[in-house]
Structure 1
Amino acid sequence: MKVCFVGLENLPVLAPEYNHHGIGGEEVQQTLLARALVARGYQVSVVVGDYGQSDAAAWHGITTYKTYRADAGIPVLRFVYPRWTATWAALMRADADVYYTSSAGTRVGLVAMFCRRHGRGLVHRLAHDTDADPEKLLIRYTRDKKLYEYGLRRADSVLCQHAGQQRALLENYGLTSVVADMLVDPPDRQLDRDQRDVEILWVSNLRDFKRPELAIELARRMPSRHIHMVGGPQPGYSELYSKIESAAKQLPNLTFHGRVPYHDVGDLYDRAKIFVNTSHTEGFPNSFLQSWRRGVPVVSFFDPDGLIKREGLGASPQSIDEMAYVADHLIADETEWRKASERCRNYMDRMHGDHVVLKPYVAAIEEAVRRRKKSRASSKPVWQ
């Protein structure tokens, strides 16, 4: 079976020579899933952006089809050319049985139209809690919101990250979905507590809803603890990045790394004692899984479906003062930290092994193929 992932920012995760470019959590998830499917005999491709690589270049058995440069085209007109046209052409070259999209955006609608026109299957996965709520979508234009909804409603299978998204999707769109847990790269090493020299770690893209200013405030309230902060500039958020970078320089107990390539950031997770998250909304952060796999407790304002509290994987404080207190306590109390660390590892072994995590993805892919085979005989025009 041929499966094509549509992730224009995936190449920096897939190919180390391009990892100086910025990435997000969903690029990591798509790439990990693509590699896992290759290992199980699927023929896998990815539609990616033009980073200067050759078309149809392959890494780890995954063929990539390039579309357009991020800065290509004339504003307004580039929505059609080269963005729409180049993406459509890459989908054609991939010639897959099933196409896989994730995150809310225009690509979902574009790929849905392609699949409907050519009788191919479509699997879509939510990547953020706001993806399930039309009033909170992280999409700027009404046109793009409509394209996203068009694609979402025409996906053959819809996956989500946790039960809260599943309930919201049913309530807001009337669509059923299946919860699919996330994959995680295994660490190359497991350091003992005494070998870990990063007391507190914060890793995220610098965007408003990530609330990086609270990481700065946390450092101010914990002068005896050292915080390492990782995050690169994002399009439209250059002012926020400059503000955070400037504030970090004023704090002797905060090391601001800026952007760290995906293939290098694992070293900081290995060395961390505590991971903190300051977002007020998320999907399911990859950073949680990377932390727990290494036995790093997570202290986060955002707790997906109450998982952190229920499983004892860290703490979910309600204020910055409480976050500072909990983080300090976990670092200082070796016995408590080791208990929490062991719970993190046990949870990951139980819930996030590939043999468990892959089941809903494989089922969704197979369901998409079955549905398309049934519908080909009675296919309708793309606009219906």
Structure 2
Amino acid sequence: MLALTAYPVLAGRRDLRELGGAQVQQVMIARALVRAGIAVTFICMDYGQPEEEWIDGIRVLRTYGPNDGIRGLRFLHPRITGLFKAMRRANADVYYQRCSGMATGLMTAWCRWNNKPAIYAGASDLDFQPGPPNVHNRRDRWLFRRGLRQASAVVIQNPRQRDLLLANHQRDGVLIPSCYAPPSGELRPNPPDAREVLWVGMIRPVKRPDRFLALAKACPHLQFRMIGGAMGDTPAVLEYYAQIEKQAATLPNLHFMGFVPFDQADSYFDRAALLINTSDHEGFPNTFLQAWSRHVPSVALFDTGSRIDQQPPYCLVQDEPALSAAVQRLMQNEDERQQLAQLGHAYFVREHSPATTAERYLALLQDLKART
């Protein structure tokens, strides 16, 4: 697995703020595969860790650092040279990479030269849009599109991604839903006196944290909690984060926590009555799985395509007024909230357990090896 930015999540490094849903999901999948008997190697960027180590049964190889090399030349060295060296050292049967970017094209090129199957896994609906719009460098967009064409298989998270992949790239995808493992054993439903309305995500425009602030302002009688750090350290990213933090400070019924390490943020689902997702685009939110596993119902403005008994396992709304109305209704109606919680939990058990995800990946891996 080319998991370049996943090391902070895997190692539980609280001093590093590289935390996104894609990294969390890749660690979850890797641990599920290890439990299923698959030997998993992570290729990670250099965050000061040893050149090689083992974490949770996963072999971890270090490659280049985020800022290593001379500007203008670092793409060739150490990025291409370091990545290819680590891939040779991994000596895997199948290679896997998640998230759109240059690494997709580099991985598939190396795999073609060495007769190895390569899997690309989408992390967001944006990965399959024309462009894609979340990759800003022209060279990296070209590498990603080339890699997407050359991948032996493309893993998608939801039915919408299948439609986008077919329409924009003329490829079919293998649907493997995301998974989530509770931190310790089987989780129990949250207590009926849980009253917090929770939002968890990176503070970036596509996640629309401004909608959550507007929701808290429209519902002064409810208690809200917001968890999330800045996605990077560029001036624009930090300025946007500062704007959200400043606006949050004006709302007395909102507790803005900023960045919280994943294992700590996970615990706040135990006290939530509702989870809110305000994103314009997603792949499949890990936060849904954290909530549903605990019988915490969710409200969102986008459709993942998930259905159980022809119903989405969460409250799907179309705009901000509908979001406010749904939240107030659910917080006032315990029976309706519990019905939605049961629906979400049933869908989680059916589709998103680590064992189910591992079985689906095992089938894909066996198919790719048979075709090699």
Cα distance in 2 between the residues matched to 1:177 and 1:338? 35
Per the alignment, in what secondary structure is the counterpart of residue 342 of structure 1? Answer: helix
Confirm or deny: 8 A CA contact 2:202 2:228 kept in the other structure: yes
Q: Within the alignment, does 1:231 sit opposite 2:228 as a pair?
A: yes
Q: Which residue in the other structure is 2:269 paired with?
A: 269
Q: Within the alignment, does 1:219 sit opposite 2:201 as a pair?
A: no
Q: Which residue in the other structure is 1:58 paired with?
A: 54
Q: Within the alignment, does 1:314 sit opposite 2:314 as a pair?
A: yes
Confirm or deny: 8 A CA contact 1:123 1:365 kept in the other structure: no
Report Cα offsets for 1:164-215 as digits up to 9, x if no partner.
1112211211112111111112254425333424x21011111111111111
Cα distance in 2 between the residues matched to 1:302 and 1:317? 8
- Which of 84, 92, 109 does residue 88 from structure 1 map onto? 84
Q: Which residue in the other structure is 1:380 paired with?
A: none
Report Cα offsets for 1:74-111 as digits up to 9, x if no partner.
32222222222211211111111111011111001011
Q: Which residue in the other structure is 2:351 paired with?
A: 351
The structural deviation recorded for 1:312 is 4.9
Cα distance in 1 between the residues matched to 2:327 and 2:349? 24
Q: Which residue in the other structure is 1:202 paired with?
A: 199
Confirm or deny: 8 A CA contact 1:273 1:296 kept in the other structure: yes
Confirm or deny: 8 A CA contact 2:44 2:62 kept in the other structure: yes
Give the structure-1-normalised TM-score.
Answer: 0.91
Q: Which amino acid is the alignment partner of residue 32 of structure 1? A: M
Per the alignment, in what secondary structure is the counterpart of residue 179 of structure 2? Answer: coil
Confirm or deny: 8 A CA contact 2:308 2:343 kept in the other structure: no
Confirm or deny: 8 A CA contact 1:19 1:262 kept in the other structure: no
- Which of 98, 103, 122 does residue 126 from structure 1 map onto? 122
Confirm or deny: 8 A CA contact 1:99 1:120 kept in the other structure: yes
Per the alignment, in what secondary structure is the counterpart of residue 305 of structure 2? Answer: helix
Give the structure-2-normalised TM-score.
Answer: 0.94
Q: Which residue in the other structure is 1:35 paired with?
A: 31
Q: Could you say if the C-alpha distance between residues 306 and 356 of structure 1 is closer, same or farther in structure 2, counting changes exceeding 3 Å?
A: closer
The structural deviation recorded for 1:263 is 1.2
Per the alignment, in what secondary structure is the counterpart of residue 287 of structure 1? Answer: helix
Gaps of at least 5 residues in structure 2 are none
Percent sequence identity over aligned pairs: 34
Q: Could you say if the C-alpha distance between residues 327 and 37 of structure 1 is closer, same or farther in structure 2, counting changes exceeding 3 Å?
A: same
Q: Within the alignment, does 1:241 sit opposite 2:241 as a pair?
A: yes
Q: Which residue in the other structure is 1:12 paired with?
A: 8
The structural deviation recorded for 1:314 is 2.9
Q: Which amino acid is the alignment partner of residue 33 of structure 2? A: L
Confirm or deny: 8 A CA contact 2:95 2:118 kept in the other structure: yes
Report Cα offsets for 1:323-360 as digits up to 9, x if no partner.
11111111111111111111121121122233432233
Q: Could you say if the C-alpha distance between residues 40 and 22 of structure 1 is closer, same or farther in structure 2, counting changes exceeding 3 Å?
A: same
Cα distance in 2 between the residues matched to 1:77 and 1:221? 51
Q: Which residue in the other structure is 2:188 paired with?
A: 190
Q: Which residue in the other structure is 1:335 paired with?
A: 335
Report Cα offsets for 1:32-62 as digits up to 9, x if no partner.
1111111122111100111111011111110
Q: Which amino acid is the alignment partner of residue 94 of structure 1? A: A
Cα distance in 1 between the residues matched to 2:259 and 2:188? 24
Cα distance in 2 between the residues matched to 1:308 and 1:266? 25
Alignment coverage as a number of residue pairs: 367
Confirm or deny: 8 A CA contact 2:61 2:86 kept in the other structure: yes
- Which of 78, 101, 109 does residue 113 from structure 1 map onto? 109
The structural deviation recorded for 1:306 is 5.8
Q: Which amino acid is the alignment partner of residue 80 of structure 1? A: L
Confirm or deny: 8 A CA contact 1:123 1:364 kept in the other structure: no
Q: Which amino acid is the alignment partner of residue 203 of structure 1? A: V
Confirm or deny: 8 A CA contact 1:308 1:314 kept in the other structure: no
Confirm or deny: 8 A CA contact 1:161 1:182 kept in the other structure: yes
Confirm or deny: 8 A CA contact 1:19 1:263 kept in the other structure: no
Q: Within the alignment, does 1:174 sit opposite 2:160 as a pair?
A: no
Confirm or deny: 8 A CA contact 1:219 1:254 kept in the other structure: yes
Q: Which amino acid is the alignment partner of residue 318 of structure 1? A: Q
Per the alignment, in what secondary structure is the counterpart of residue 295 of structure 1? Answer: coil
Q: Which residue in the other structure is 2:299 paired with?
A: 299
The structural deviation recorded for 1:143 is 1.2
- Which of 64, 69, 74 does residue 65 from structure 2 map onto? 69
